Amino acid sequence: MPAYKAPLRDMRFVLYELHQGETLAQLPGFEEMTPDLIDPVLDEAAKVCEEVLAPLNRSGDEEGCTYENGVVRTPKGFKQAYDLFREGGWTGIACDPDFGGQGLPKSVNTLVEEMICASNLSFGMYPGLSHGAYLAVHAHGSEELKERFLPKLVDGTWSGTMCLTEPHCGTDLGLCRTKAIPQDDGSYKITGTKIFISAGEHDLTENIIHLVLARLPDAPKGIKGISLFVVPKFLPKADGTPGSANGVSCGSIEHKMGIKGSATCVMNFDEASGWLVGEPHKGMRAMFTMMNTERLAVGIQGLGLAEASYQGAVAYARERLQGRSLSGTKHPDKPADPIIVHPDVRRMLLTMRSTIEGCRALGAWVAMALDRQHHSAEPQERQGAEDLVAVMTPVVKALFTDLGFEAVNHGLQVFGGHGYIREHGMEQLVRDARIAQVYEGTNGVQALDLIGRKLPAHAGRYLRAFFHPVSALIEAKVEDEQLGSFVQPLAKAFVRLQQATGQIARVGMAKPEEAAAAATDYLRLLGLVALAYMWVRMVEVALPKIGSPADSDGFYRAKVATARFYMERVLPQSGALFSAIMAGGQSMMAFEEDAF
């Protein structure tokens, strides 16, 4: 597998040409965020990922993390790479400058996250979880907690975690049993066990700050009785340095299918000192600040791994000689033609490419909505952006990770038997990608969130944030001489999406299982339409530039050709998804339980 190269050309196309990223500088707080500042950040991030993180990916997978007597050690080279990463300021690029961050837009940080995930997902888990902890404390913590913990999280000398899951309690967090007992000094004693804690224990930072869900003695039952606490591994001293050990220990680490360089821990809290984040019994609201951001980040994990697999598959398809082209020999000077001449190999490569580039465009659109939500001076713009983020968060998480896993499997398939062995690195990408469909809420849970919470919220207001721009584009461009052939497939799929939405809305209240039975297919249908919308917009940008000096490398020609493949070969899946949704859930729910 060739060395990873960050797709900076396409990233800049998405950021500047498609989404007009230069307008970020018009938002309060982003006045300096011009291409002159952003481009060097992207260039340097690419350099770090290509030259520092990517070379550790395979060795980190082969060595994995080790656990001995409560101590977890990361793979060789991770500590040195983390120190370089931290010293370069990468742990704080999207953090508040008041706490030492660089304050870059989320849309820029999302592109950096993709590079990190593509080059070394296991490494990226450590700063990724820290950023989630930072966001929760920043949004909900007291000023005292912010001053105590955020500067160290931002500069990377301390890291963070999310401690939600318990042995008996995964998606249903209302079953959480971890206890929090108030103390006279305003702190709490936290007791309980959490499992599947990414970056729960390691040797990269001098302290680890755990964000822990627990119950107060007077907590009501269920999810409304959960509070959130910040629980450090070492209790900070007055000067901000780590002090005595807290009642926090790692009981073991998991032996996993993938992301083996990321420590996944069982964490035991034995009367550990912690401090309340936000209000009592309102922990889920605070935790969802972390989880929603993490769900977007997990979607980007799927995208990054797909990009890495695509690069490997293309390089291999160009050099692997097998058979002759069905239309006649293409390379008579060689004993066989490279496999890139074969239709099925091209099908796999173009499926990967069209979904990767579509997801990159959609992910950046949602990330820019986050920037507007938090920084726009216009209340109406902030509300519209918030609505779009709300409806698209489960879509980005589930769609990107599903398509990402499909893509890395296509990449392995291009290699044939050579993809199944370790030497080329393609099988690691498959193993690493699989977890993204599971954690931060399984993709089935994301689909239920979409149809159960997001669709009916505020009489469908969230969904309108997506439907209205799609409808406007179709109405304006469906008869366009150049764009029409791209808009018409989008229009047909959008009609199916509208009809499926109406069907789910009709049956959802009276027969919730009917709606739930359609949830996964509906999320995929909405996601494919969203990618088609992105592709039409990308074609609109690219078409006028074909043949211009800017297209000397064929970038815009390839963009339009990829769009045509998506519309003709991927988007038609919307028809089958629509049929499945309209068929209802009777065939699955009427099946005798004993017959399984």
The catalytic site residues sit at: 440
| 3-state SS class at 96 | coil
> In the numeric block, which tokens belong to residue 437?
């469909």
> 278's torsion region: left (phi>0), alpha (psi -120 to 50) or beta?
left
In this structure, are residues 148 and 154 in contact, taking their beta carbons and an 8 Å threshold? no
The Cα diameter of the chain in Å comes to: 84
Amino acid making up residue 116: I
142: CB partners within 8 A, 6+ apart: none
340: CB partners within 8 A, 6+ apart: 314, 317, 318, 346, 349
Q: At what angle do helices 106-140 and 283-319 cross, to 10 degrees?
A: 160
Overall residue count recorded for the chain in this entry: 596
Amino acid making up residue 573: Q
Closest CA to 137 of 303, 129, 331: 129
| 3-state SS class at 524 | helix
60: CB partners within 8 A, 6+ apart: 74, 75, 77, 78, 120, 122, 123, 260, 261
144: CB partners within 8 A, 6+ apart: none
- String of DSSP letters for 233-264: SEEEPTTSSEEEE-SEEEEEE---SS-TTS-E
Beta bridge partners of 409: none
In this structure, are residues 261 and 72 in contact, taking their beta carbons and an 8 Å threshold? no
The CA distance from 209 to 232, in Å, is 4
81: CB partners within 8 A, 6+ apart: 52, 53, 56, 123
Alpha helices in 99-163 (DSSP H): 106-140, 143-155
Q: What is the dihedral of CA 44, 47, 52, 56, to 10 degrees?
A: 130
In this structure, are residues 134 and 118 in contact, taking their beta carbons and an 8 Å threshold? no
**CA 360-347-361 angle, 5° bins:** 10
